[in-house]
Amino acid sequence: MPKSEQAPMIETMGAGELIGRMRGRKGGLVSLGRDRGRLKLRKPEVEDGAGISALVDSSKPLDPNSTYCYLLLCRDFAETCVVAEDMAGVGMADEAGRTGGRGEIVGFLSGYRPPDRGDVLFVWQVAVDADTRNGGLAKRMLHEVLKRPSVRGCRFLETTISPSNEPSKRLFTSLARELQARCEVSACFSESHFGSSDGGEDRKTDRGADRGADQLGDHEAEYLFRIGPFDLERMR
Ligand SMILES: CC(C)(COP(=O)(O)OP(=O)(O)OC[C@H]1O[C@@H](n2cnc3c(N)ncnc32)[C@H](O)[C@@H]1OP(=O)(O)O)[C@@H](O)C(=O)NCCC(=O)NCCS
């Protein structure tokens, strides 16, 4: 039976249990290549669209999307999206006496509130620049969006994660633990939903890595991680 037609795996477990299952995978932490204090977290603006697109393109295994897609997120979904800007050198005068404008985009989180599920924040993509990983930035961006008035009334956070993406599983189960909430994992998008025919094995090859999922036509399944219920008022 093709992988995509097997009965969906549905698990329900507490965040602690899920983390326990994944323990042991985490090697030593890499040193943080950027100074935490230089990073400014804020809502994205249209001027950030190209920088976000470049960051996502270099953040495998995320699916690359058009810059236009990120421009729309910046324009219409900024309230539930976050960028992290490295402010190094910004504001310092150059040789001509001009002061710098924008810093490099080193982190991005996109989210939206599904219109038919009023108590849910759906987090779509989270990307952190490779030199900045393992320093808590992804977690900070999640906390940043959860603090905003735009997510008032949310009691659940949903995201989808492919089974091989351990850093992402680790990020969201850690968040669930901090929110003292359950994390339920269930089937969401199967490989066949992405039009894959061979279980997505090509994604793990150089060919898959070079071309990106959309162009290749193969894509791992994505499981739904649903965290909650939680009480955001406690975080304010
Ligand atoms: C997943 C990703 C966003 C995490 O960003 P990050 O800034 O490194 O994550 P954080 O430093 O905030 O770590 C959050 C938690 O995950 C753990 N974690 C993150 N990356 C890890 C790794 N590679 N190995 C082990 N643990 C990891 C951290 O230890 C931390 O756990 P803790 O809170 O229990 O201490 C980043 O690795 C990335 O951009 N990956 C490529 C794109 C991607 O896969 N995005 C996620 C899918 S939407």
Q: In CATH, what number is assigned to the domain containing residue 89?
A: 3.40.630.30
Number of structural domains in the chain: 1
pTM of the model: 0.82
- Residues 147-172 pLDDT 10s: 999 999 999 999 999 999 999 999 99
pLDDT score of 214 more than 80: no
Hey, which of 106, 128, 141 would you mutate to test ligand 1's pocket, going by the most ligand atoms within 8 Å of its Cβ?
128
Ligand 1 atom showing the smallest separation from residue 61 Cα? 44
**Cα(170)–Cα(136) distance, rounded to whole angstroms?**
12
* Cβ partners under 8 Å of residue 112, min gap 6: 77, 80, 121, 122, 124
Instruction: Report whether residue 125 contacts ligand 1, using a CB cutoff of 6 Å.
Output: yes
- For residue 53, give its domain range: 3-25+33-235
**Cα(147)–Cα(22) distance, rounded to whole angstroms?**
28
Ligand 1 atom showing the smallest separation from residue 26 Cα? 25
Hey, which of 36, 65, 160, 170 would you mutate to test ligand 1's pocket, going by the most ligand atoms within 8 Å of its Cβ?
170
Alpha helices in the chain (DSSP H): 15-22, 49-57, 67-76, 137-146, 166-178, 206-211, 213-216
What is residue 25's predicted lDDT score, i.e. its pLDDT?
Answer: 32
